[in-house]
Amino acid sequence: MVKAGKDSLYEDLKRQILTMELDPDADLDEAALCESYGLSRTPVRETFRRLAGEGYVEIRENRGTRVSPMSHATLRQFFLVAPMVYAAIGRLAVQNFRPKQLAELEETQARFRAATDARDPLAMVLENNRFHEIIGEMSGNAYLQPSLGRLLIDHARIGHTFFRPRDAGMERRLQLAADHHDSFIAAITARDEEAVVDLVFDHWELSRENMELFIAPQGLKADALVEAGGRSERTP
């Protein structure tokens, strides 16, 4: 691998975590990363601390660094808190955005739409994540932005985990997500807080559908499990 440096290490690890190239709970090999990126342990550890502060990794005393876990417990917290944070961020974005940020949002949406049309799951994850990061930056809120960043990590990982390009339902969700992004841009441009909040909750329904896939994978519905359990209890 070509020697790259600390900035590349940071960006590469973020991308690998968001796109599930690095699994949740995976250990990071400090020595191997030092060798691959031509770095000493100090800048690698500084990168780990930066990523830990943003929620991408966990640094454990005497046990090294691992990718942040993603369990049913963390997903439950995610789905409880995310809509509240997203709605608050949306309101503040309308109030505080700058023209340069809006232009970047539009450019990111163009890349997301292109990735959607090409059915490129890695690009979709990264561009969708960046789209919502920019809305967080528009909010200009030092308290909410870290929370948004942590939520977006699991949002990206959930979305990538359940991408099924041949699923008719997935096709609908992808097109709707891209349409929602266009509507977000229009509502923010018009400084329409209520429209943005309505969009947040419409957009949220797409994530809820993915949660159902996590709990009851395709072809295995929860009610079928209950019925099967009842039959097994009655079977001698």
**Domain coordinates of the chain in residue numbers?**
6-67, 72-215
**Position of tokens 């191997």?**
32
Please state the rounded mean pLDDT for residues 215-236.
44
208 closest CA partner among 177, 165, 167, 166:
177
Highest averaged pLDDT of the listed ranges 76-80, 196-200, 226-230:
196-200
The CATH number of 72-215 is 1.20.120.530
Please state the rounded mean pLDDT for residues 56-77.
88
Convert the pLDDT of each residue in 30-54 to its tens digit. 999 999 999 999 999 999 999 999 9
Average pLDDT, the chain: 85
Highest averaged pLDDT of the listed ranges 121-125, 140-144, 159-163:
140-144
Please state the rounded mean pLDDT for residues 13-33.
94
The predicted pLDDT at position 77 comes to 87
What percentage of the chain has pLDDT greater than the value 70?
81
More confident residue, 152 or 213: 152
Fold of the 6-67 domain: Arc Repressor Mutant, subunit A (1.10.10)
**Separation CA 172–CA 175 (nearest Å):** 5
More confident residue, 23 or 224: 23
Convert the pLDDT of each residue in 188-205 to its tens digit. 999 999 999 999 999 888
The whole-model pTM stands at 0.80
Q: What are phi and psi of 143, to 5 degrees?
A: -90, -40
191 closest CA partner among 108, 99, 110, 129:
99
**Separation CA 52–CA 10 (nearest Å):** 11
**Separation CA 203–CA 179 (nearest Å):** 10
The predicted pLDDT at position 165 comes to 55
